Chain A
Amino acid sequence: MRKDLEKASDESLAKEILKDPENLSFLIDRYWQQLFFFVKRISYFSSDDTEDILQDVFIKVYRNINSFDSSYKFSTWIFQITRNTTIDAIRKKTSRPQEFSLDQNDLRQILVESGIDIEEKIINKEKIKIIEKTIRALPFKYQEVMILKFLEEKTYEEMVDIIKKPKGTVASLLNRGKALFKKEAFKKGLVLED
């Protein structure tokens, strides 16, 4: 039974969770890490705060499991709940200590996807700080779509459902975010030529 549930699709796991809340542990196991990094990337919360948010997320998932619409991908639905819970937490916890949570690979990925070519294989500490500052200075709406697209590797359709905005708006947020990031990176000397 345990092995079956480990391999079961998200949708059938959702049905099993309704029968027994203990089965939620399989879902937690499946999504914890992915959502943990997603929350950290968009919120800059500490690990403890992120875990608290995820606890709320999984309780919400359990409470609303009957409202899951099978026309969505389950992962999209759970990202949608996570995103909303994180935004609520950001509103409440602005004064809480924050830590930057994008690692060097994340930063490199964002740079590449934004069309910024960094020659060095390893970005030095100074540059990392500049890139971090540049990303953090971007408005949340741009950071969010860039993280979803470049780091979480979501499709446009999934992004539409996660951030609940029309496709055109998502695309323009992404383009504007990239352009703004490139512009700021250029100003800070990260890029030699625009």
Chain B
Amino acid sequence: MTKDKRACEIIKKIKKDQIKPIPKWQCRLFGILIWAGVFFAVILSSIFLSLVIINLLEIPFHIFSMNYFGLLIRFLPFFWLGLIGIFLFLGFLIFNKTKKAYRYRFLMIIAILFLVTLFFSLVLGRLKIDRQIRNFTENRIPQSLSNRPSHMVFCKRNMAKEGLLGGELMDKKKNSVLVKNDLNENWEVILTPETKIKKRAQLLIGDKLLILGNKVGELSFQAKVIKRIEENKNSFK
């Protein structure tokens, strides 16, 4: 069959089957939807990463008596980490649907997505939106799944031997304070001139505290650092 005849046949088929080009707006909309999907996945990953970062920042790594990696593993917010993984992977899958995704290698795409995620999560942190999100999620997601594993563990376990005490400020004296942990133990926390009080100089009755220091007696603890936890009161329950 000649080329001309073939061309005629193709054009005839196009006319007969009333084949029309896909409208431009439809092509554009498809592209926009794909990129919106990537953006959505990255934003969600960023939110979860900001929650991970805020949790990690509250881990008192400066307790030299504890193993750094052990502590890290123990307090890692695995739920949020899992969600980051899921949404980054989703972002990768959607990104692969973009027109020129094939030009980039798998690792490069993941690295770029992660860097963009990190950037947005830092922006969220800078704008303090991460705290608002955390407060919002605290009452809506089971604690066992997500929020503040560090503080939960601090307060629900007696870690005084390991140099860590968490609980509620019950009473204040000149050189000591009384702290009740979630095990209903009343601890006398001794304050020395070297004791640093972070976040707020003034401690108020009812404040949730994290105290780093040494156990000096049965229910007695000498404080090196006292950190007031700014959070929804319910998070300790």
Contact = CB atoms under 8 A, between A and B. Distances in A.
Interface string B1-30: 101101111110111000111111011000
A64 B21 contact: yes
Contact of A59 (B6, B19, B22, B103): B19
Contacts, number: 67
A67 B103 contact: no
B105 A58 contact: no
The main secondary structure of chain B at its interface with chain A is helix
A139 interface: no
Interface residues of B, number: 25
Given A28-B3, A29-B7, A55-B9, A62 B19 contact: yes
A24 B103 contact: no
A73 interface: no
A32 interface: yes
A66 B21 contact: yes
A65 interface: yes
Contacts of B6: 28, 32, 51, 54-55
B102 A25 contact: no
A127 B175 CA distance: 99
Given A24-B14, A168-B105, A63 B19 contact: yes
The main secondary structure of chain A at its interface with chain B is helix
A165 interface: yes
Contacts of B14: 21, 24, 59, 62
B10 A28 contact: yes
B22 A67 contact: yes
Contacts of B9: 55
B1 to A, nearest CB: 7
